Structure 1
Amino acid sequence: MITNLQASQAYTAARNAISPLGNAGPAQPANGPDFAAMAQDFVQVMEKGDAAATGAMTGQVETHQLVQSLAEAELALETVVAIRDKVVEAYQEILRMPV
């Protein structure tokens, strides 16, 4: 079973894998992951995919750039969905706790 921390670490690893410099940016604070930065990165990856798709339709972007951008967007979306699923699962587990 994947924990919330493992899902967050998987996101960070995936973000490093798709980063052009192989760097996730500023270091995470000692108290945990920076979810605002993760959300911002997700938005940027999705916007990059949209821009690549639009550019491919107008002939301004090459096919391999489109495929790479869409693969990055797919990976980011799958990661966000996995994190969301873990949050929902944790919430449901809290609801099942006896009071």
Structure 2
Amino acid sequence: MDVRSLYAAQKYAASKPAMQPDPTQASTLEAEFARVTQDFVGQLNSAEQASADAMTGDADPHALVEALAQSELAVEAVVAMRDKVVEAYQEILRMPV
């Protein structure tokens, strides 16, 4: 057996735990993503409720404009994040193997 291949196998075995995902970090990331998603959905629901109230005459027009502006900002933020994820994915695809 070649000494270099033995050394490479030992290094691979030593680095293998570092390549495994950390379950505590994954659950934290999942929880944060779930919280952000719920905030986004809540923002859209509140804007929808404000627009429904404005149509029935129960809401202040200023509150409607504010709710719609906040929902527009939330949608623009989500679209920007989606664009960054797609851009990163395309960059990974361009990497030579």
Q: Determine which of 75, 78, 87 is the counterpart of 1:77.
A: 75
CA RMSD, aligned part only? 1.4
- Residue in 2 aligned with 1:35? 33
How many residues of Structure 1 are paired with residues of Structure 2 in the alignment? Answer: 69
Rounded Cα–Cα distance in structure 2 between residues aligned with 1:72 and 1:47: 11
- Residue in 1 aligned with 2:63? 65
Q: For 1:1-99, list aligned pairs within 5 A.
A: 34-99=32-97
Rounded Cα–Cα distance in structure 1 between residues aligned with 2:34 and 2:93: 26
Give the superposition deviation at 1:35.
1.3
Q: Which has the larger share of helix?
A: 2
Instruction: Point out where structure 2 has 5 or more consecutive residues left out of the alignment.
Output: 1-27
- Residue in 2 aligned with 1:4? none
Which structure would you say has the larger Rg?
Answer: 2
SS in 2 for 1:72: helix
Higher RCO (C-alpha 8 Å, min separation 6): 1
Q: Deviations over 1:42-96 (max 9, x none)?
A: 0000001100111100001110110110011011001000000000000000111
Q: TM-score, normalised by structure 2?
A: 0.67
Rounded Cα–Cα distance in structure 1 between residues aligned with 2:55 and 2:94: 49
Give the superposition deviation at 1:36.
1.2
Rounded Cα–Cα distance in structure 1 between residues aligned with 2:91 and 2:33: 22
Aligned residue type for 2:82: R
Instruction: Point out where structure 1 has 5 or more consecutive residues left out of the alignment.
Output: 1-30
